[in-house]
Structure 1
């Protein structure tokens, strides 16, 4: 199994309804392909971790890269894993627009100006910490 973490930019500012529909589609697809993960959204930026068999993760990631709802997709981390952190999930989700920096000690630098895609790309270790922090608090 692998996990793959990526970050991308939304091509438009999604509404709450748009985000709900995206999440419903992702959860249904992930259940079909035995993928688990976590999706964060904020400041017109998506960050997601996908966990599962390499073939399935790559198939979903290929579809994400051509999805017209986002662009500028950057792979942050791709590595083998021994087990899933949250095997019962199809997809955890958090809209960071409603999140205050105080909820994440140590991560206020990323949230200071909103969800800062460039800051995450420069320090991909932050992506793992950020996703795990939200995953344990969902």
Structure 2
């Protein structure tokens, strides 16, 4: 996956996982257009900067995994924090031994109308449990179940 700026793509692999509350309102067609905009912009930018990842959208939350260099992830997170379509609730970052979503500039999983949400802002983790592990497992499982792999 070529990056337009080798300095951004270079460096050790870093991973960021965040959960945010969706602030997208209005009719379904408006909501769908906003999500499509997020995906188109993310995929275009991620291809240029060698970022891979996945986005899960439930009725109330975005859950996103981003993989790339520290600099590239920091730049994306700066834009994400400024995006008025959602509010970050929890974020976890750190080094990653390998890419889990290397085939996707931004895989997408969305909730369907009437389905119960999979992850909510109030999900509690067991004492000592690292949030990244269950989120990564859940997203990998969902992508495999959807036939995306």
Q: Could you state the TM-score of these two structures normalised by the residue count of structure 1?
A: 0.79
Matched-pair contact (CA < 8 Å) for 2:50–2:68: yes
Structure showing greater radius of gyration is 2
Residue of structure 2 in register with 1:105 after alignment: none
Matched-pair contact (CA < 8 Å) for 2:54–2:101: no
Task: Choose which of 19, 22, 38 in structure 2 pairs with 1:22.
Answer: 38
Task: Choose which of 33, 47, 57 in structure 2 pairs with 1:41.
Answer: 57
Q: How big is the shift at 1:67?
A: 0.7
Q: Is 1:93–2:108 an aligned residue pair?
A: yes
CA offsets, 1:63-100, max 9 Å, x none?
A: 1011111113420x322112212323100001123595
- CA change 1:84–1:66 in 2 (3 A) is same
Q: Which aligned segments of 4 or more residues in structure 1 are displaced greater than 3 angstroms?
A: none
Structure 1 segments unaligned to the other structure (5+ residues): 101-110
Matched-pair contact (CA < 8 Å) for 1:40–1:94: yes
Q: Is 1:2–2:18 an aligned residue pair?
A: no
What is the number of equivalent residue pairs in this alignment?
Answer: 124
Q: Could you state the TM-score of these two structures normalised by the residue count of structure 2?
A: 0.73
Tell me the SS of whatever aligns to 1:134.
Answer: helix
Q: How big is the shift at 1:17?
A: 2.0
Task: Choose which of 46, 56, 67 in structure 2 pairs with 1:51.
Answer: 67
Matched-pair contact (CA < 8 Å) for 2:24–2:34: no
Structure 2 segments unaligned to the other structure (5+ residues): 1-12, 126-130
In angstroms, what is the RMSD of aligned CA positions? 2.0
Q: When you count helix as a share of all residues, which structure comes out higher? A: 1
